[in-house]
Amino acid sequence: MAQEQSRIAYQVMWNRLISVVEEQAQALVRTAFSTSVREAGDLSAGVYDVQGHMLAQAVTGTPGHVNAMADAVPHFIRRIGRENILDGDVYITNDPWEGTGHLHDITMVTPSFHKGQLVGFFACTAHIVDIGGRGFGADAHSVYEEGLYIPIMKFADRGKVDETLTRIIRGNVREPDQLIGDVYALATCNEIGHRRLVEMMSEFDLDGLEGIAAFILDNSRRATLERIAALPQTSACGEMTMDGFDRPITLKCKISVEGDRIVTDFSGTSGVDKKGINCPIVYTKAYACYALKVAIAPEIPNNAASLAPFEVTAPENTIVNAVHPAPVALRHIVGHFVPDAVFDAFDKIVPGLVPAEGAGCLCNFQVSLRPRTDAPAPDTARRAEVLTFNSGGSGARPEHDGLNATAFPSGVMTMPVEATEHAGPVIIWRKELRPDSGGAGKTRGGLGQYMEVGAQEGHEFDIQAMFDRSDHPARGRRGGKAGAATAIAQDDGNKMHVKGKQFVPHGRKVVMAFPGGAGYGDPATRDKALVKRDLARGYISAETAARAYGLSQNEIDAVADAVARGEIT
């Protein structure tokens, strides 16, 4: 009975820890200056034991941050040195190889002391809009060009902030108030996590976290291994090709289910690119683990033990294991396609489980606005950096349609137009779903979006395009059809590149069509009622209803009449 009571108490504490780190994450959302954090949720938060093993992570956050940050705290412990870890300290870095993959992510770690003893650590990560250098984009040839590098160091030493560090940061970025505000938000959310942890420990009369840590890690490890053991003990290969910067890139992987682990090997993948789309292994690992975990054990909370059985290897100097000083600013473009490559292999091991390919990487762009230079600018014209996160469609699932304009695998939210326009003198003239962009299938791919962006009167701008899927749209699975490809051009018809910084003169707009997700299964087997619903909602055109799904002209006319009468919505 005592043992059962102990298990119940530990389960209550485990749930409490998850709620603690979720409050930590929500505090960061509420206090962050950057729209990427405040509006899109591009962040992570977690709690760790004294050895740096992750015990719990917030539900809010992206897999790239969440899973990459799982490996970060041991780097902090090693670099700072245990003898230098003191009450009141706060540590900081944006090291791509010891953090979460590029300089635009700042990770902060705070040691947590209770009754004078170190009991654990809190960590959090957030994407910041600017870190200096060339700005957020793929144009750099090395990481040295991509912005300010902050090695693992103390932001605060026993409660005293390093003002020299803050002055260096301010002097090297375009949005100093915004960045420093985000740094303080990160430090504060860790402090909130610490307070809630101490409250929990006092409530349960705990002097340390050793007992609850063992309970969490042992149960998570056992549950994950049970799922792996139930799979076919075999291997399979998968691959996919993406646009890259100026040449296609192929991701290859071999998935091997080996009793107490799943090994993902990326041998054969394309080499490091000259431009900043390379991916450090920590970020590749984050998304490879995520793909397999959501396939076989989605309900087991993320922690060190539930992630440990997913092993990831890749030869150095491949694009999924880029080493210093490779440019890595847009590592997410490659990293977000890792799950599609993994799913291509895993579908051959466990058929009928994983979705079709989707848009993959986020459809991000950053606008650098300034007063026009071709004629006198009004006094109200100003410089500004505006980053906006947007999404194409996700791939169709075996039993459900893909989600429209939804980020998978990243999970970040699409930014509202109002928040984007509030950040600077930018105008979003159009933002709507893209009909016919979802691939046909028994289940249909999710729709992409149309967007049209310009600047307020008196401004010109550079746009940093961070797209893919122009030449390699999402592939269908098991008979499903491909999703629509990406397109970008100025409103005068001049085509633009899907990646890189490009100038847009005063008065011009940029018109973008974001990709759709692919379909799953033979379109001929799709429920006709769903086809008619899609036609009524404008998700597909009459032409697609007839060509892809076999709807007759009489059926199409009947849908139009029913919509006119308000009978179908």
The mean of the pLDDT values for the chain is 96
Residue 66 is predicted with a pLDDT of 81
Task: Please choose, from the candidates 112, 122, 111, 69, the residue with its C-alpha nearest in 3D space to the C-alpha of residue 94.
Answer: 69
pLDDT of 406 above 60: yes
384-388 β-sheet, strand order? 384-388, 364-371, 459-466, 499-504
* Amino acid making up residue 306: S
pLDDT of residue 23: 97
pLDDT band of residue 70 (cuts 50, 70, 90) is: confident
Q: What is the pLDDT of residues 281-309, one digit of tens each?
A: 999 999 999 999 999 999 999 999 999 99
Mean pLDDT over 207-226 rounds to 97
Task: Give phi and psi for 555, each to the nearest 5.
Answer: -65, -40
**Global pTM exceeds 0.85:** yes
What own/partner pairs with CB < 8 Å and gap ≥ 24 does 223-228 have? 223/297, 223/300, 223/306, 224/297, 224/300, 224/305, 224/306, 224/308, 224/309, 225/260, 225/309, 227/296, 227/297, 227/300, 228/257, 228/259, 228/260, 228/261, 228/262, 228/296, 228/309
H or E stretch covering 157: strand 153-157
Q: Are 62 and 44 in contact (CB under 8 A)?
A: yes
Query: Of 191, 240, 242, 235, nearest to 87 (Cα)?
Result: 191
Place of tokens 């209550």: 12
Residue position matching structure tokens 């000259």: 274
Q: Which pLDDT score is estimated for 285?
A: 97
The answer to whether 343 touches 291, Cβ cutoff 8 Å, is yes
Domain ranges across the chain: 2-220, 355-521, 527-569
Tell me the sheet residues that pair with 443.
Answer: 520
Q: What is the pLDDT of residues 353-375, one digit of tens each?
A: 999 999 999 999 999 999 999 99
